[in-house]
Chains A and B, each alone.
Chain A
């Protein structure tokens, strides 16, 4: 069956970086784009952007430019989200999902605390 499995929870200090992985299985990785979403505790979902898994082209929402990078390791059917220079407001659960919205990872909680 189709699955997106994300890496485990992270605890980081402000200014550090984090890289979250999202491994796809059960389908051809390059046949569906991958989006990334942020959900702060008790809040709605916020769309961060998406990456074309065929071409590697990235699209970022305005609030997620500069410190946020989407990347791929196509041979491993894996997408990545890297966040650099972490800030307190980056503390949230991050989800990967197919751009159709049909498949979601389980979420990765990033805690930012000094």
Chain B
């Protein structure tokens, strides 16, 4: 199975600070169809996950543009340009290139 390693596991930030989360894959996520099926989700406490980014860098519907995704192959990054209070929770990367689809271990974003 593909292993996704997220760092850091805990991220302390102040409101307005810009932060990044890394997601490294144990194998390339470039599919034979030319797409890279790498997603980012935010799970706020007590809620279902919300899709933020799909196919590495595409912003989900209704997601603020302070969120951005980048990367290729095995290395991916989620950036938040100016953390807001509503951004607190656990962030997960997920790959759907190789079955079984797998998730990273999560990065908890908390207020400093």
Chain A interface residues toward B at CB < 8 A: 35, 44-47, 49, 59, 61-62, 95, 97, 99-102, 104-107
Contact = CB atoms under 8 A, between A and B. Distances in A.
A102 to B, nearest CB: 5
Given A101-B39, A102-B60, A105-B48, A47 B54 contact: no
Given A44-B92, A45-B49, A107-B48, A102 B61 contact: yes
A90 B106 CA distance: 21
Which 7 A-B pairs have CB atoms at the shortest separation, nearest pair first? A61-B100, A104-B48, A47-B101, A101-B51, A45-B103, A44-B106, A44-B103
B71 interface: no
Contacts, number: 46
Contacts of A107: 48
- Most A C-beta atoms less than 10 A away, residue of B50, B101, B105: B101
